[in-house]
Amino acid sequence: MSTAPNIPLGWRRLRLALALPLAALAAFGAGFAWFVHAASQPAAPPAKADGIVVLTGGPERIESGFFLLAEGHAPVLLVSGLGSGVSAEELARRAGLDPAEFSGRVTLGRTATSTHTNAAETAEWVLREKIRRLIVVTAGYHMPRALAELRQALPGVTLYPAPVVVGMRRGPGEVKTPQIKAPSWRLLTEEYVKWLAAELGLSTLGPTHEPRGAAQPGPSGPKE
């Protein structure tokens, strides 16, 4: 009768010590693959919502938010984390739109300096405007983390992602073929780690301001 080999205790401990980090690495890699796929998926905004929020920090986000507002997807818009020195009228003109169309419909949030504080700023506005359905505008690679932060700050509010594809800028009613400019692997990896922290509720432990170099800011907007 054959018997199982007697593996020394030291070898068993070594195998376990090697298996745990390999399993963690495999889980990290699988999660990263899902994240990259999710970050690259287009999503059509709903026909109607109660409001639109733009999280500044990258190109064409503010313009996209104004186009959605002009197309009637929602009655009001928040531009979160804008900083100072620019008006709603100027932003409308930069998007090629008539500022008169947006009188009293656009709120400029000037206090947020990170995605976590974007969510806090948005929560105050949502409560004030009594919003239950919210369109979220930001870059595709930033969307998972933005949604994670917003879900925690806005329980009971339905979120509709409207990711921005750089190079696909359009005016209201126009349709363009997407010209996707993929973010770098370094940026995707950094965003993935930040998204994991947001999902675990650890983003409050990070710096108040996002580190430089994560993305190019919009007009007077914060880094991501």
Q: Show the tokens assigned to 66.
A: 């104004």
- Alpha-carbon distance of 150 to 211, in angstroms, equals 20
214 in any annotated domain: no
pLDDT on residue 21 = 73
CB contact burial 120-132 (16+ within 10 A = b; e otherwise): bbbbebbeeeebe
- Quickly count: other Cβ atoms within 10 Å of residue 201's Cβ: 11
Give the type of residue at 137: V
pLDDT on residue 12 = 61
* Residue-range definition of the domain harbouring residue 176: 39-205
pLDDT on residue 13 = 64
195 in any annotated domain: yes
Contact 29, 193 (CB under 8 A): no
26 in any annotated domain: no
Q: What CATH number is attached to the domain comprising 87?
A: 3.40.50.620
Contact 183, 34 (CB under 8 A): no
213 in any annotated domain: no
Q: Where in 118-198 does DSSP place strands (E)?
A: 133-139, 158-164
Backbone angles phi, psi at 137, to 5 degrees: -115, 120
- Smallest CA-to-CA distance from 46 within 150, 161, 149, 144 is with 161
pLDDT on residue 47 = 82
Q: Over pLDDT 70: what percentage of the chain?
A: 69
pLDDT on residue 185 = 73
Q: Number of folded domains in the chain?
A: 1
pLDDT on residue 121 = 97
pLDDT on residue 172 = 55
pLDDT on residue 92 = 95
6 in any annotated domain: no
74 in any annotated domain: yes
Contact 77, 52 (CB under 8 A): yes
49 in any annotated domain: yes
Which pLDDT tens digit goes with each residue over 30-49? 777 776 777 777 777 788 99
- Alpha-carbon distance of 63 to 77, in angstroms, equals 12
pLDDT on residue 196 = 84
Three-class DSSP category at 87: coil
- What residues of the chain score a pLDDT lower than 50? 168-169, 174-180, 208, 211-223
32 in any annotated domain: no
DSSP state of 179: -
Torsion of CA 94, 100, 101, 104, to 10 degrees: 100
Radius of gyration of the chain (CA): 21
Backbone angles phi, psi at 146, to 5 degrees: -60, -45
Backbone angles phi, psi at 2, to 5 degrees: -80, 150
pLDDT on residue 177 = 36
